[in-house]
Amino acid sequence: MKDGDRTRTSACLRAAAVFLFCLCAAGLGAQERFRKAPPDPEPLSPLRLPPVESHVLTNGLRIGVAPRPRSPVAVIHVVILAGEADSPPGLPSVAALTAGMIGRGTPLLTASDMENAVDRMGATFMTDVAPDMTVFTFTCLERDVDRALGLLKTMLLEANFDERQIEGVKRTLFYDRRTKERDPEFVARRQLFRLLFAGHPYQITTYTEESVRSATRRDLETFYSRYYRPNNAIIVVTGDYSLSTVSLKVSRQFNAWVARDVERPFLPPPVPNSASRVCFVDLPSAQNAYLYIGNIVMPMTSPDYFSWLVLDQVLGGTTSSRLFMNLRETRSFAYYAFSETNFFRTSGIFWARAKVTPEVVSPAVQEILKDLENLASERLAVFEMEQAKAFLIGNFPLRLETPEEFGLRVARILAYNLGAEHWNKYLDAVMLVSLDRVLETSQRYLLPKPVVVIVGSGDQVVDHLREFESIEIYDSKGAWKQTIQKGVAK
Amino acid sequence: MSSAVRFFRFPAFLLAAALAAFPQAPARGPEVKALEAPALEFRLKNGLRVILAEDDTLPVVSVVVAYGAGAARDENRKGGLAYLMETLMFQGSENIGPMQHWAAVERVGGSLNATTTHDVNLFSQTVAANQLGLVLWLESDRMRSLAAGQETVEKAKEELVVENRQRRAADPFLETSFEFDRLLFGGFAAAHPVVGSETEVKSLTEADIRAFYKAFFVPNNALLCVVGAFNLDRARDLIGRYFETIPAGGEVPPPAASFPPTDGEEGTLRNVKNAQTVVPALHLGFRMSSLQTGDRHALRVLDYLLIRGRSSRLQRRLVRRERVALYLGGGFEERAGTLVFRVFAQGNNEVMTERCRRVIMEEIERLKTEFVSAEELESARNRLTADFYGRLTTSLGRAIALVEYARSRGNLDDWAAELDKFLRVNPQTLISLVNRHFDRKRSVVLNVQVR
């Protein structure tokens, strides 16, 4: 706080330290006892989710249903079990470009015809390309689900790889990447992924805007022909349906989709980082410093998954978690500090992230590392673990509220083979996590040294990096420039 | 506890019957499904309006408290006060410390938000169903009392000033948008920006805050809506326990609204130079006249027909066919009882923005004389229906929809038939509507020119 502010505040405080505005002074004189403390929560309401059922057509297409009784809205998720990591070596972005061509016309319908058809139904069509899978989401009124499936079939099975449309998709992707590359958080996360996935197929997902240019029409057609097959796809319909109804509706449209063997090389999990590594990415436009500190962890199928969720929550799930309380509230280093985990088919990746002022980069990194070490060396306090569990249990049903999220979760359960009862065991599994299991899990995943990525403007940040033994310097695109050792002049 | 309890149940929408009344409409698919969520409405002795709607889809509950304490309540030269109150409502009350409301909801996995418009200060939270008592306890405490140290007030003002500066720096058209609001809405209540000006915010005093809270954050100026998985009797008990004994405030008068006179037969036309942008833009609006029965529904359909969605008339023509608008947005907006239709368009040059203006006026004139085609109307109805139902898929979306409806109509009597009323709008209704409301004399155009 500035000096002037402090003087003014002191004067005001002398006048009235705290004021209490009352609706009615007389009515507020003596409050009822129940107002003094929050009520105890009532018993946890049961969460009964339907078992995840699926049916496989003769062409190998797996069909799932996410039942939402009385829902007037239907959501169709089409999952292609190939994503960014399946783009051919040397041709990153092919998966994204191929996905972008779905809905961009067929030999008989233009892209504009299709977009109009979707819009006139009041529907929406979205595409998301993740490292392991590509997901198309079509949301429509329940009464239109047959029309929607028909339209989706046309989009997916009759995709036309018109050169002009490909250029349009490339342009969109190019500018999307260019825009993101101004965002220090995106740059930091991409650099962390790039370093942790070095030598692994997942690394191809961290491409830059320039990579978008190199793919040709033939590359896209080859990718499409190889992966867009019924035996490599899942369709999940969310709405007021049974599996038999959905199977009938979907098979009517997709049973002619031709299967072909999809060869997939074995994908080993990436190897966690274990040596000290501090990297600085120079992003001249950044106003502050952004810290991303992370490592490889387990996939969702691991027995450590639920204890990890509790651990991650304690570390940086909310504003009451350790990172936020330490870096922002206690030390005033950070604007914010949280942790997150992404899960893929063979592994997960976690990171602590914080936005700090340049002059506190070094102590802030040390504090985050200390918070990670503490988790791996000491048991959690009971209240901390219970608080984390309360959050996870309370938050779980909230994340299933929209039909899009509800259906996507079913799609993910099927795609990752998590089992029919995966989501019904969530609450019990979280409740059963013990202090010992959390400690074991943290020792397994937090003891190996994480990678530290710092993004900021070189002019503002470099002078504050002297405390580190060794710093790898990268440009804003992630290309290595030099490594500086402590005590060695530049 | 309460008087006048009314129950409502969403009936199935008989679209076939509705369509029979509109020979212009093409054949439709199976009927649209209704959400069978009963809503209970009552008022506590202190004047607090309560709406309860059960939905057991998931064990989740959303609580919304809306105070008729939006920016339209700001007094002249005290802009930003209502918005500042939104922040201060999280800074503690008699039994809850600063930011503890936020932390308490977050700790149990809930989500929360707050928003200030010209009409309301609205607070919302969604939590697991077993935490309903916690949220009601939190909300009742800040309805009953507000504790904020002078330091907190000054800090909130400083943050608002910084936020204002950041907003203005980030959006090159924000200032001209405020200028357009002044021309379109007229009187201070509806025309001034919610965030206020820097001078106004800095001049706000502790006495202003105390007076505003005492006048408007009172049960008889609030609406509490709970939607989700709860036991009706239990919810009523909890609401009675926490809210019944909060004393009512004084009488709350409706906010003032006024229109400035227009410049003449062709409405108001202004040009403004903008140093912040490299492309010109156009703000265009119409002030609606007094609404007749059914106008509200027809205006909403017109919204979809004209500007919402890529197949709406203006988007299709200006953005895709003629490509004179780089960006086009807008629609109907209501502030403090004043309803307007507004459009914002950006072009590469002034020839393009002028073309946008001509096309918008031309399309409005066409709507006065030509029936909308059945296909175009069907498309607008579909998009409206999808958005209508889309909002109702979450407990929070439904709670906010119920609050908005109850605030604008006074009660929930016709809520069950709401969508049906939109679907009944026909081409004849639209022609009559556009002729009554889109009067050039009530049009306002602000050309934003590059300096």
Strands (E), A224-370: 233-239, 277-282, 289-297, 334-343, 348-356
How far is residue A217 from each of residues A93, A109, A213, A227, measured CA to CA in Å? Answer: 13, 19, 11, 16
Indicate if B298 and B402 belong to the same structural domain.
Answer: yes
Question: Is residue B210 within 8 Å of residue B146, measured between CB atoms?
Answer: no
- Return the pLDDT at B38: 66
DSSP-derived letter for residue B96 is B
For A62, left (φ over 0), alpha (ψ -120 to 50), or beta? beta
Within-domain flag for B297 = yes
| Poorest-pLDDT segment among A89-103, A187-201, B36-50, B83-97 | B36-50
**Crossing angle of the two packed helices A305-316 and A382-395, in degrees rounded to 10:** 110
Does the beta carbon of A89 lie under 8 angstroms from any beta carbon of chain B? Answer: no
Indicate if B414 and B290 belong to the same structural domain.
Answer: yes
| A161 contacts: CB under 8 Å, gap ≥ 6 | A101, A217, A220, A221, A224
Name beta bridge partners: A354: A291, A337
Indicate if B226 and B284 belong to the same structural domain.
Answer: no
A23 with B145: Cβ contact below 8 A: yes
Give B268 to chain A, closest Cα distance, Å: 35
Give B377 to chain A, closest Cα distance, Å: 10
CA B199/CA B330 separation, integer angstroms:
29
**Rounded average pLDDT over A115-132:** 93
Indicate if B222 and B273 belong to the same structural domain.
Answer: no
- Return the pLDDT at B273: 93
| B358 contacts: CB under 8 Å, gap ≥ 6 | none
Token readout for A432 is 């059963």
Does the beta carbon of A263 lie under 8 angstroms from any beta carbon of chain B? Answer: no
Within-domain flag for B311 = yes
Within-domain flag for B56 = yes
Select from A42, A122, A387 the Cβ nearest to the Cβ of B133.
Answer: A42
**Rounded average pLDDT over A63-89:** 94
CB atoms closer than 10 angstroms to residue A167? 11
B134 with A144: Cβ contact below 8 A: no
Token readout for A295 is 């490592």
Within-domain flag for B169 = yes
Give A46 to chain B, closest Cα distance, Å: 7
Within-domain flag for B431 = yes
B206 with A46: Cβ contact below 8 A: no
The phi and psi torsions of B231 (rounded to 5 degrees) equal -85, 125
Select from B29, B210, B247 the Cβ nearest to the Cβ of A27.
Answer: B247
Indicate if B69 and B148 belong to the same structural domain.
Answer: yes
**Rounded average pLDDT over A256-263:** 94
Indicate if B103 and B219 belong to the same structural domain.
Answer: yes
Token readout for B132 is 């309903």
**Rounded average pLDDT over A479-490:** 79
**Domain holding B320: CATH number?**
3.30.830.10
**Rounded average pLDDT over A127-144:** 95
B249 with A36: Cβ contact below 8 A: no
Looking at the predicted structure, is the pLDDT value of residue A9 above 60?
A: no
Looking at the predicted structure, is the pLDDT value of residue A14 above 50?
A: no
Indicate if B62 and B195 belong to the same structural domain.
Answer: yes
CA A142/CA A137 separation, integer angstroms:
14
- Return the pLDDT at A207: 82
- Return the pLDDT at A488: 63
Indicate if B213 and B358 belong to the same structural domain.
Answer: no
* Helix (DSSP H) and strand (DSSP E) numbers for chain B: 17, 13
In chain A, what are the helix, strand and coil shares in percent, each to the nearest 5? Answer: 45, 20, 35
Interface list for A 371-390 with B (CB within 8 A)? 387, 390
| Comparison of pLDDT for B437 and A22, the residue scoring more | B437
Token readout for A30 is 């003596």
| B338 contacts: CB under 8 Å, gap ≥ 6 | B185, B186, B190, B257, B259, B287
Nearest CA in chain A to B321: A112
Indicate if B229 and B309 belong to the same structural domain.
Answer: no
Question: Is residue B399 within 8 Å of residue A401, measured between CB atoms?
Answer: no
- Tens of pLDDT along chain B (451 residues)? 333 333 333 333 322 333 233 333 333 433 445 545 568 999 999 999 999 999 988 999 999 999 999 999 999 899 999 999 999 999 999 999 998 999 999 999 999 999 999 999 999 999 999 999 999 999 999 999 998 778 889 999 999 999 889 888 889 999 999 999 999 998 899 999 999 999 999 999 989 999 999 999 999 999 999 999 999 999 999 999 999 999 999 999 988 766 666 667 788 999 999 888 889 999 999 999 888 888 999 999 999 999 999 899 999 999 989 999 999 999 999 998 889 999 999 998 999 999 999 999 999 999 999 999 999 999 999 999 999 999 999 999 999 999 999 998 888 888 888 999 999 999 999 999 999 999 999 999 999 999 8
**Rounded average pLDDT over A12-17:** 37
Give A388 to chain B, closest Cα distance, Å: 8
Nearest CA in chain A to B32: A143
Pairing mode, strands A277-282 and A470-474: parallel
Q: By residue range, what is the domain housing residue B308?
A: 268-450
- Return the pLDDT at B265: 78
CA B17/CA B4 separation, integer angstroms:
32
Select from B95, B109, B320 the Cβ nearest to the Cβ of A394.
Answer: B109
Name beta bridge partners: A139: A75, A124
Q: SS3 for A29?
A: coil
Interface list for A 12-41 with B (CB within 8 A)? 12-13, 15-24, 26-28, 31-32, 34-41
pLDDT over 90 percentage in chain A? 77
Question: Is residue A235 within 8 Å of residue A62, measured between CB atoms?
Answer: yes
Question: Is residue A109 within 8 Å of residue A154, measured between CB atoms?
Answer: yes
Select from B94, B143, B386 the Cβ nearest to the Cβ of A123.
Answer: B386
CA B131/CA B59 separation, integer angstroms:
10
Within-domain flag for B250 = no
Indicate if B284 and B230 belong to the same structural domain.
Answer: no
What domains does chain A contain, in order, with CATH numbers? 54-254 (3.30.830.10), 277-402+417-485 (3.30.830.10)
Looking at the predicted structure, is the pLDDT value of residue A12 above 60?
A: no
Within-domain flag for B258 = no
Select from A45, A73, A141 the Cβ nearest to the Cβ of B130.
Answer: A45
The phi and psi torsions of A347 (rounded to 5 degrees) equal -165, 180
CA B163/CA B117 separation, integer angstroms:
16
Which of B179, B210, B243 terminates a domain? The answer is B243
A116 with B310: Cβ contact below 8 A: yes
CA B256/CA B73 separation, integer angstroms:
8
Confidence of residue A10 (pLDDT cuts 50, 70, 90): very low
Select from B30, B214, B311 the Cβ nearest to the Cβ of A143.
Answer: B30
CA B353/CA B447 separation, integer angstroms:
8
Nearest CA in chain B to A404: B393
Residue with tokens 């007030």: B153
Residue positions counted in chain B:
451
pLDDT digits (tens, 9 = 90+) for A307-324: 999 999 999 999 989 999
Looking at the predicted structure, is the pLDDT value of residue A126 above 90?
A: yes
**Rounded average pLDDT over A468-473:** 94
Mutating which of A5, A19, A115, A396 best tests the B interface, going by the most B Cβ atoms within 10 A?
A19
Pairing mode, strands B49-54 and B222-228: parallel
Select from A22, A69, A402 the Cβ nearest to the Cβ of B394.
Answer: A402
Domain count, chain B: 2
Which of B182, B208, B243 terminates a domain? The answer is B243
Secondary structure of A49-105 in HEC code, one letter for each residue = CCCCCEEECCCCCEEEEEECCCCCEEEEEEEECCCHHHCCCCCCCHHHHHHHCCCCC
Which of B210, B243, B276 terminates a domain? The answer is B243
Average model confidence (pLDDT) across chain A = 90
What one-character-per-residue DSSP string does B266-334 give? Answer: T-EEEEEEETT-SS-EEEEEEE--PPPTTHHHHHHHHHHHHTSSTTSHHIIIIIIIS---SEEEEEEEE
Q: Which of B104, B143, B144 is nearest to B127 (CA)?
A: B104
Indicate if B408 and B286 belong to the same structural domain.
Answer: yes
CA A15/CA B199 separation, integer angstroms:
24
A143 with B127: Cβ contact below 8 A: no
Within-domain flag for B386 = yes
Indicate if B76 and B148 belong to the same structural domain.
Answer: yes
